[in-house]
Chains A and B, each alone.
Chain A
């Protein structure tokens, strides 16, 4: 209903004294959410098959923690190395020297296309193709040579495979980030006498980070979960550690809960880090809630 004031009434209303509007649908929705959550909580706590005591027993089991350590190590190393390589690949794709561009595009096409599982197996079996690895002048003298089987352990194969895979994905994320920065910013930096490297590292990349960070966060999380693939090359990651236990005890559900718990802890830590980084690189921007980040 609309109230039309006669000129006589004008100035009699003050919205500061307004009453809240009734919102029955919100009450209903809130009630539904509460009931749903209560049901889930009841199921989780009252179903004996969750075997919570077993979960508690194995949560800090040394083998489980060692598996967790392996997963985190693989994630962090592949994340850092893959990001650095990804930035270089992104720059290569934007280079004005044709051959560099083609090689980088080819790399990204190849390594995004091959499933990481296949890659892990390939690197692990590298000795079949190349029995010895050597450093030297191409087609010339060599300075050192090692047996491939000594160099390619499950750990190095996993690190190489995950890093190369990660780099291909990061390259595309970083490229999109670089393209999101106004080319005028590059002009302005170059005009001030910054070198190309300074322009990229101090002006373009920090601004590109705003676009790069959110998809990178998802990428790192899928990398963490992707580390569960390394059990195929006999590495004991978190998932493999709990599998080893339940293969003997058949306590499958509680052991999977142990694994889920630790994955969620690490993902939460990563999300927290992402939030910090977003704030750090959002300086000089207005947040969605309208406040200035500094």
Chain B
């Protein structure tokens, strides 16, 4: 695919004290592309998506959404941080799904999906409601419209969270380990929803430990370790001989673990 990438991350760094959680990460995501980010725990995957969504500041580098600089504006020959209101405007063009769902427990499922449309995008309630109905049907939860999040299973909560993120038609979706907090038997219902989104051509970055799933839906994978992108490329290459030793070690450890977990687990 040609043209300006939807998201372009250029050599970003983010440190917590001495420790560099992101140590010069670059990444482009083209329109309609699904990128799977894999890597061991603590390698900086969450920090990467949080920085892209501007929930964390970056120390250096730059990020662009549809060619527009994220978080900063040009002022003379340098750049300066955007005011919070403009940052909020930029965030509205991205959707985020968290490992711990983070539905708003004091609102019903429908209100979770409509509130940002109304307050942030200025749609009227009826329109927002229509969209909520449509999205809930899409994630298979039409009957849960009036439930509160604590009345739902983890898998159902995550499907609502995905619907909520989709409600405002984001340019790109960022999913941070969307199935890691779920009981094994609930993973598939969420993966099915994500698979449908990929098939519909939504641009996504998915941080995941579901290697088999990543191989299936992703166009490209990014392997991170210790704050760096160690390897990235088309999914086919993961299976090829070109992979690094670190990736090889990670994959073998992971497929082993997952394999045994699955045999024990309640998966049918």
Question: Which residues of A does B touch, CB under 8 Å?
Answer: 182, 184-185, 187-196, 198, 202-203, 206-207, 281, 283-286, 292, 294
CA gap between A286 and B149 in the complex, in Å: 11
* B257 → chain A closest CB, angstroms: 26
Neighbour of B149 across the interface among A187, A190, A206, A284, CB < 8 A:
A284
Residues of B within 8 A of A187 (CB): 50, 55, 98, 102
Evaluate whether A202 and B149 lie within 8 angstroms (CB atoms) in the complex, with A187-B98, A195-B85, A281-B106 already known: no
* B170 → chain A closest CB, angstroms: 10
B98 A184 Cβ-Cβ under 8 A: yes
B104 A203 Cβ-Cβ under 8 A: yes
- Give 9 A-B pairs besides A187-B55, A189-B104 with Cβ atoms closer than 8 angstroms: A187-B50, A191-B55, A191-B94, A192-B120, A193-B121, A194-B120, A202-B115, A284-B108, A292-B151
Residues of B within 8 A of A195 (CB): 84-85, 88
CA gap between A67 and B43 in the complex, in Å: 68
List 25 interface pairs A-B (beta carbons < 8 Å), by A numbering: A182-B100, A184-B98, A185-B104, A187-B50, A188-B96, A188-B98, A188-B102, A191-B53, A191-B55, A191-B91, A191-B94, A192-B92, A192-B96, A193-B120, A193-B121, A194-B116, A195-B84, A195-B85, A196-B84, A284-B105, A284-B107, A284-B150, A285-B150, A292-B148, A294-B148
Residues of A within 8 A of B96 (CB): 188, 191-192
Smallest Cβ-Cβ distance to A292: which chain B residue? B151
Question: Which residues of B does A touch, CB under 8 Å?
Answer: 50, 53, 55, 84-85, 88-89, 91-92, 94-96, 98, 100, 102-108, 115-116, 119-121, 148-151, 164-165, 168
CA gap between A14 and B98 in the complex, in Å: 48
CA gap between A284 and B85 in the complex, in Å: 30
CA gap between A207 and B164 in the complex, in Å: 19
Number of residue pairs across A and B with beta carbons under 8 Å? 75
CA gap between A284 and B95 in the complex, in Å: 24
* B119 → chain A closest CB, angstroms: 6
Neighbour of B88 across the interface among A185, A194, A283, CB < 8 A:
A194
* B51 → chain A closest CB, angstroms: 12
Evaluate whether A194 and B119 lie within 8 angstroms (CB atoms) in the complex, with A284-B149, A285-B150 already known: yes
CA gap between A255 and B88 in the complex, in Å: 61
Residues of A within 8 A of B165 (CB): 192
Smallest Cβ-Cβ distance to A191: which chain B residue? B96
A286 B150 Cβ-Cβ under 8 A: yes
Evaluate whether A283 and B148 lie within 8 angstroms (CB atoms) in the complex, with A191-B53, A196-B84 already known: yes
Smallest Cβ-Cβ distance to A209: which chain B residue? B106
A198 B119 Cβ-Cβ under 8 A: yes
Smallest Cβ-Cβ distance to A210: which chain B residue? B106
Residues of B within 8 A of A284 (CB): 105-108, 148-150
Residues of B within 8 A of A294 (CB): 148
CA gap between A203 and B115 in the complex, in Å: 11
* A91 → chain B closest CB, angstroms: 15
B116 A192 Cβ-Cβ under 8 A: yes
CA gap between A292 and B151 in the complex, in Å: 9
Most buried by B among A193, A285, A286, A292: A193
Evaluate whether A193 and B98 lie within 8 angstroms (CB atoms) in the complex, with A188-B104, A283-B106 already known: no
- Which 10 pairs show the lowest CB-CB distances between chains A and B? A193-B92, A284-B148, A188-B102, A191-B96, A192-B116, A193-B120, A284-B105, A193-B91, A184-B102, A206-B106
Residues of B within 8 A of A184 (CB): 98, 100, 102
Most buried by A among B53, B89, B94, B104: B104
Residues of B within 8 A of A194 (CB): 88, 116, 119-120
CA gap between A189 and B116 in the complex, in Å: 9
A202 B119 Cβ-Cβ under 8 A: yes
